[in-house]
Amino acid sequence: MCGITGFLFSPGQALVEVAETRLGDMMTAIAHRGPDSQGHWVDAGSGVALGHLRLAIVDLSPAGHQPMPSASGRFEVVFNGEIYNHHKLRRELEEAGHAPVWRGTSDTEVMMAGFEVWGVEETLARLEGMFAIALWDRETRTLKLVRDRLGEKPLYYGWQGKGRDAVFLFGSELKALQAHPAFDARIRRDAIVAMLRHGHVPEDLVIYEGLRKLRPGEIAEISLEAPEPKRKLYWDGGAIAAAPRGPAPSDEDAIERLNSLLLDAVSQEMMSDVPLGAFLSGGIDSSVVVGLMQHLSKKPVHTFSIGFHEARYNEAQYAKEVADHLGTHHTELYVSDTDLRDVIPRLPHMYDEPFADSSQIPTFLVAEMAREHVTVALSGDGGDELFCGYDRYVHGQKMMDKLRGLPGPLRSLGGAAIRAIPETWLNKVMEPIRATPQGKEPNGQRLHRLANYAMSTSTEELHQKMVSVWRFPEDAVLGGSSPPSILADHLPPRGNLSDMERMMQLDMLAYLPDDILCKVDRATMAVALESRAPLLDHRVAEFIWALPERFKYRDGKSKWLLRQVLYKYVPAALIERPKMGFEVPIGLWLRGGLRDWAQALLDPDRLRREGYLDEAVITRLWSQHLVGSHNWGAQLWNVLMFQAWLETYGDVTPA
């Protein structure tokens, strides 16, 4: 696990010393990603500079140092991630007589040998791992940028500057690009709209004009002669999910096949020359990963959990029960509201793009705790999106079943009628019947939200509403409009997917990489901890998508097939309970300990001066939240994370 960065520039534009200085500044900006060593390579004659920050995990010797040339010298690479099957690929090269004289045992060297023997795309098809790659080809004078299939590792890129001063920048985090003098910090208003809607800047958008994120499974090729990046998918998750299915296996065969795949994935991802452990929440996903790890390990696996003193948020006791059953070496950290709130000032710099999933806070704390003991931690990320773990999948399918039985005009009329009733009036009428739980949305607000769902005309429209924090974020952004989205405008093929599976497919392509994996990458790399997710092995994803829905949801239970594998290692009695997750009581905090902080960021004069957000809209939500007529905690948190990010990154020019 590392950080990579670099740039293309007009040959002769800068002396080698100048290019090295600029590259050094970019590397320093993301030094936290690779504290063990760093390296750079500049070819001023070709106009390319590559930088690498190393967190040494495999082959700790200098033989694993990057940038690394291929054996023939044709390729130069900087690479962030791990190739878990590199031992197998090494043997394939050796048995075929195509292996170079090995310099060491690193996965990078094997990957480079594959590029020379099999070609880039054929090698990518063989790789099992997580990665972001920048590969310079001396022969064609082109730069290839590559991201792993499910999007575990990030890569930002884009042209900045004009004319002969234009440079093509790339890096693991935006901080690296910002450190180059050509960087032009112009904020995209449509990216703000998207961020308010989802809590993150989605898909290939970046908060700044002129920059992009590489999408999962994507490869982009750039050269000074052909500056517009040529982008294509070498692995298309949407098409794989929608592909026609063959005959379904028996339950027993499916269980054994998944168990075998996960054993292999976990075994590969336990590859490490440094201390290794796992995050354990006590839920299905992390428990199956830890159960498999302990089955494969001859000594207790080191596991880590975070606990809360508030019982309704706390899963630590369940994690401890699982750890005790498996016999792991378990460490837990109980945190208070104060501990959680103390992380907030660090978030804007940690994420360097506005990001507002509040579970980023406990995720960072558990990563920080784990880093005191290990350098690598396995997680259960991906289980919800691949195995039908979110309640919205079940609720959405049931709602669509009901809506299809009603004429469209009747749905629209009924939804509009409910939304025409003031929420405050609905609160008064409904409160004696259904009391609002502490910290949750009042009844009127909830009914308006459900009425909005009921007006949906398709699964895709309903899903977008269910994953949207703001219903109409355009209203809050001055001059803002919603950008095109994979959730609404360039939808992937659906095939014969059920409503439930369609929502899973969309989450795998959008919510998983843009929220969950972004959150984990930044939180772990902020403390130089490598996180690995065995459930996101692409072989697992391809297998589960080839199975009918009944293997994901059956008898009123989600993750049916994954549960059957888990029960081989952990008794059902330790797992069967309602899903909790890393929930943080943002709404309550904003009325309490965070009120002064929020008030300063939401000051109307400040909003008018900055010129991005409509102070009337924001002030109305803030006032309603404080008096308790509404719970706008999630919506305001998105606004506050944008405001805190804006404050951190200074005076930037609106686009």
Q: Counting beta carbons within 10 angstroms of the beta carbon of residue 309, is it exposed (0 to 12), middle (13 to 18) or buried (19 or more)? A: exposed
Q: For residue 553, what are the β-bridge partners?
A: 558
Whether the CA torsion 21, 23, 26, 28 is positive or negative: it is: negative
8 A C-beta contact, residue 483 and residue 190 = yes
306 labelled ligand-binding: yes
8 A C-beta contact, residue 195 and residue 207 = yes
Set 2, 169, 316, 535: catalytic member: 2
Residue 210 φ/ψ region, left for φ over 0, alpha for ψ in the -120 to 50 degree band, beta for the rest: left
Our answer to whether residue 2 is catalytic in this structure is: yes
Q: Which two tokens stand for residue 245?
A: 């299915």
Closest CA to 292 of 326, 334, 338: 326
Closest CA to 542 of 290, 232, 242: 242
Query: What residues contact residue 489 under an 8 Å CB cut-off, 6+ apart?
Result: none
379 labelled ligand-binding: yes
Cα 336–579–625 angle (5° rounding)? 55
380 labelled ligand-binding: yes
- Give the C-alpha separation, 261 to 249, whole Å: 15
- Give the C-alpha separation, 218 to 216, whole Å: 5
* DSSP-assigned states of every residue in 393-430: HHHHHHHHHHHTTS-HHHHHHHHHHHHHS-HHHHHHHH
Whether the CA torsion 392, 394, 400, 405 is positive or negative: it is: negative
- Give the C-alpha separation, 8 to 525, whole Å: 26
Q: For residue 134, what are the β-bridge partners?
A: 78, 145
8 A C-beta contact, residue 276 and residue 376 = yes
- Per-residue burial over 607-639, b = 16 or more CB atoms within 10 Å of its CB, e = otherwise: beebebbbbebbeebbebbeeebbbbbbbbbbb
Cα 541–544–545 angle (5° rounding)? 85
Residue numbers belonging to the annotated binding site for L-glutamine: 107
List residues with catalytic annotation: 2
Residues at the binding site for ATP are 306, 379-380
Binding site listing: 107, 306, 379-380
